[in-house]
A and B are shown apart, each in its own frame.
Chain A
Amino acid sequence: GESVGLHLPTLSVQEGDNSIINCAYSNSASDYFIWYKQESGKGPQFIIDIRSNMDKRQGQRVTVLLNKTVKHLSLQIAATQPGDSAVYFCAEGNYGQNFVFGPGTRLSVLP
């Protein structure tokens, strides 16, 4: 399948533990942010999004935190499972305009 990258930062977590993946974004004017998950050989899949007027949003087992002061976004995954192993990356943008994607972090779940 299509490999995402050989030089990505890697986060290794034990199955059942919580994972925190971080992303620093560049444009203080960005008003919309998305987290994507990309499994080996597949295209990116939407996980969760957040607007700039929010600082936290929760989904099923995932939470996104936004700190606009330091232009930082994080994705928390609760009770990490083997199926969560993938590359995760954030995207920043403005409504109606194109997104800028981060390089990604590889999450490895250890049995």
Chain B
Amino acid sequence: DAGITQSPRHKVTETGTPVTLRCHQTENHRYMYWYRQDPGHGLRLIHYSYGVKDTDKGEVSDGYSVSRSKTEDFLLTLESATSSQTSVYFCAISGPTGPIAGALSSYEQYFGPGTRLTVT
């Protein structure tokens, strides 16, 4: 998974509780992304970051916040989890450090293994 780890890998939490998911990379890539994946939908972008302390909203950002205080870590926080936030969450990285073998561009994204979050 190209030097990307996500923690935890699985979590069950109750409605109304705060939850933080962590994405950690060892690739020194500049750009980091949080997506959620749900049945019947493609990956949907929650938030992204173009560098330390430089973050922006994606298409489904309501109910989520992020922080990036170091290049290698990108945190996704659900301030008060709801059942609609039950999903699989993926972190991705990309950046102008050179494309992977066979790719035309360095904007190709590498994905982490995912976190399954269940809100009961």
Q: Which residues of A contact B (CB under 8 A)?
A: 2-8, 32, 34, 41-46, 48-51, 59, 89, 93, 95-96, 98-104
Contact = CB atoms under 8 A, between A and B. Distances in A.
Interface stretch (B13-21, B60-68, B73-81, B101-109): B101-109
A49 B113 contact: no
A103 B108 contact: no
Contacts of B88: 2-4
Does more than half of chain B's interface fall in helix, strand or loop, or is it mixed? Answer: loop
A39 to B, nearest CB: 11
Does more than half of chain A's interface fall in helix, strand or loop, or is it mixed? Answer: loop
B104 A43 contact: no
Q: Which of B38, B43, B45, B113 has the most CB of A within 10 A?
A: B43
Contact of B108 (A6, A34, A41, A102): A34
Contacts of B114: 2, 41-43
Given A42-B113, A43-B112, A44-B90, A32 B107 contact: yes
Contacts of A59: 102
B116 A98 contact: no
Interface string B51-70: 00000001000000000000
Given A44-B111, A46-B110, A89-B42, A98 B48 contact: yes
Given A2-B116, A46-B110, A7 B104 contact: no
A46 B108 contact: yes
Contacts of A34: 108
Contacts of B48: 98
